[in-house]
Amino acid sequence: MTTAWKGHRPLLACSLALAVGATALLGVAAQGSSAAPEHPPAAGPGRGAQASPAAAGRHGTHTMAGTDGLASERDGYRLAPRTGTLSAATPTSLPFTVTGPDGRPVTDFAENQTQRMHLYAIRSDLTGYQHLHPTMAADGTWTADLPALDPGTWRLYTSFTPNSGPHKGTEYVLGSTLTVPGTGGAAQLPAASATAEVDGHTLTVRAEPTAAEAFPLTVTVTGPDGRPVGDLQPYLGSYAHLSAFHEGDLALAHLHPITPVTAGGGGPVLTFYAMLAEPGNWRVFLQFRTAGRLHTAALTLRVP
């Protein structure tokens, strides 16, 4: 998904082996890293079993920065929405381009998680999560079909990977703030919780998060019958997609489980390798698919 994640995969081979000692996970990491650059499996000096952004940065040319969507421009790539204002209470098509270092709209994007462009949106009170896949015209103009959005301030995130040019293969997450005119109060953030319910499913999250340190996060899914599920279907090439938004600055972290997609269905346990840059509250949205239906669960994760 992100530069961060690409950076993570080789990192996984290093640090999870130390932290978990799991050769099975090593296999997963190796499987997932075929497109990632080779890195020596060495731990960061003095960091012991802990992974860190610094350690990740030491592992290659990709850096951890720039995938939180807080910037609209990076390395000459710029997100340019055609408008900064969307109409309220009605579905809207939002055209935008990503311009490259040469100032022209980029048209050559690599597929990532089965898509060339992922778009996320969240209201400033961390409600209204959207995860969409815009379509691109030949001239590089993307169109995102947004549903009716509540009035307020929204942050938009585009996740893409140039497939040519000086930063070919680097994933970027560029963001932009949009206004939906009208009045609407801010919802209070739900209290931190280890469980979330959606469509009869219960998700239980286990993690001991530390800001700016990589940490394992597991999600256990039980079905409507109360039993652990084993029938998760791949969605966009993965058994789940986790998007976490930081209360306040709206930084985004998007994660996928290291649990590989296999024949026969996934679950009940999905393991993520999480990296949340800042302490505070993160609103976590978990998307997964069963029986052809996409579910989105949400919970608040407190990072001390």
Residues that bind Cu ion (CB under 5 A): 118
List C-alpha distances in Å: 304 to 97, 117, 244.
37, 33, 15
> Per residue in 24-40, is it b (16+ CB within 10 Å) or e — as a string?
ebbebbeebbeebeebe
Place of tokens 């680097």: 170
Q: State the minimum distance, in angstroms, from the CB of residue 246 to Cu ion.
A: 19
Q: How far is the CB of 66 from Cu ion (least distance, A)?
A: 18
Q: What tokens does 276 get?
A: 């949340």
Task: Considering the complex, state which of residue 157 and residue 282 has its C-beta at the smaller distance from Cu ion.
Answer: 157
Residue 48 C-beta: closest distance to Cu ion, Å: 35
As measured in angstroms, the least distance from the Cβ of 158 to Cu ion is 10
Minimal distance, residue 240 CB to Cu ion, in Å: 12
Q: Which is nearer to Cu ion, 118 or 201 (CB)?
A: 118
Residue type, 54: A
| 215/272 with CB nearer Cu ion | 272
Instruction: Compute how many other C-beta atoms are within 10 angstroms of the C-beta atom of residue 91.
Output: 11
Residue whose Cβ sits closest to Cu ion? 118
Angle made by CA atoms 172, 68, 42, in degrees to the nearest 5: 80
Nearer to Cu ion, 14 or 174 (CB): 174
Nearer Cβ to Cu ion, position 241 or 246?
Answer: 241
Query: 88 vs 294, which CB is nearer to Cu ion?
Result: 294
**Host H or E run for residue 57:** helix 53-58
Instruction: Reduce the DSSP state of residue 3 to 3 states and report it.
Output: helix
What is the smallest separation between the CB atom of 273 and Cu ion, expressed in angstroms?
Answer: 19
Type of residue numbered 204: T
**DSSP letter string, 4-55:** HHHHHHHHHHHHHHHHT--HHHHHHHHHHTTTSPP----PPTT-TT---HHH
